[in-house]
Amino acid sequence: MNWIDICHIDDIPLRGARVVKTPLGCIGLFRTGEAEVFAAADSCPHKGGPLSEGIVHGQSVTCPLHNWVFDLNTGEAQGADEGRIETFPVQVEGGRVLIAEAVLGKRRAA
């Protein structure tokens, strides 16, 4: 798998997020731990809320508009809510956040 260098991990606040704008849409990078980052679509399927502006907790993010909670591992809504966000392969290597190159070529992010 080929990887694209996006940013340094310190560019994403701990338990926070940053947005990567791509030709295919916006992807949220969610930092859940010192060296743990997840990548997912930045738009909530419920009302289109910007998930990068939500609350990052554990390995989940809560939508800022209506409090839907999404598991960043699977993209599935938790609890009574039904829905899913797309997740993307990401890794941290040498303090750099890398996203799979295939995300831009084969998938729609948002």
Helices (H), 1-110: 102-106
Domain ranges of the chain: 3-106
**Cβ-Cβ contacts under 8 Å for 60 (sequence gap 6 or more):** 69, 70, 71, 72, 78
Q: Tell which CATH architecture fits domain 3-106.
A: 3-layer Sandwich (2.102)
Regions of the chain short of the pLDDT cut 50: 107-110
Is 0.85 surpassed by the pTM of this model? yes
Give the phi and the psi of residue 104 in degrees, each rounded to 5.
Answer: -80, -25
At position 74, the amino acid (one-letter code) is T
Q: Determine contact, residues 3/98, Cβ cutoff 8 Å.
A: yes
